């Protein structure tokens, strides 16, 4: 307990290991879901038309954003389950929220541009 704050709650190693396994199982399940979604969008590639093509681009972009966000969440969860005490949990939480806010701003901008392009294509 050297270097620990008196009265600080330490998260048991067994709990961290269990949580780590749960996060890994959830990650595998999500990877399967993303793979299925990507195959569905790819299956639509054979269809013609610029409107449909731009819709597929928006769909691909949305899937990529979802995949990126969930990957960040899994990485966050894995960092959390390795945290040794509540102060480390708070540091991890703060860093994750800051990173996600930046990512969401960029994704919203990119998705807005893609939707504007789709709308412009539809008007042609």
- Say which residues have a Cβ less than 8 Å from residue 5's Cβ, sequence separation at least 6: 85, 87
So where are the chain's domains?
13-123
Q: How buried is residue 28: exposed, middle or buried, by Cβ count under 10 Å (0-12/13-18/19+)?
A: exposed
**What is residue 44's predicted lDDT score, i.e. its pLDDT?**
65
Q: Is 65 in contact with 107 (CB distance < 8 Å)?
A: yes
Threshold 0.85, pTM exceeds: no
- Say which residues have a Cβ less than 8 Å from residue 78's Cβ, sequence separation at least 6: 20, 23
Query: How does pLDDT run across 6-52, given as a tens digit for each residue?
Result: 556 677 788 778 777 888 788 788 778 777 777 777 776 655 555 56
Q: Is 74 in contact with 23 (CB distance < 8 Å)?
A: yes
What average pLDDT score do residues 66-90 get? 90
| H-type alpha helices, the chain | 13-43, 50-82, 86-123
What average pLDDT score do residues 74-92 get? 90
- Average confidence score pLDDT of the chain: 79
């Amino acid at each position: 307990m050297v270097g620990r704050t008196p009265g600080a709650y330490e998260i048991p190693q067994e709990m961290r290991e269990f949580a780590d396994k749960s996060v890994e199982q959830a990650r595998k399940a999500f990877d399967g879901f993303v793979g299925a979604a990507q195959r569905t969008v790819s299956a639509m590639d054979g269809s013609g038309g610029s409107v449909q093509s731009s819709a597929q681009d928006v769909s691909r972009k949305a899937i990529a954003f979802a995949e990126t966000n969930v990957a960040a969440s899994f990485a966050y969860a894995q960092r959390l389950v390795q945290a040794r005490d509540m102060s480390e949990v708070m540091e991890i939480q703060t860093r994750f929220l800051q990173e996600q806010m930046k990512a969401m701003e960029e994704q919203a901008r990119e998705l807005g541009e893609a939707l504007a392009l789709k709308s412009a294509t539809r008007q042609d």
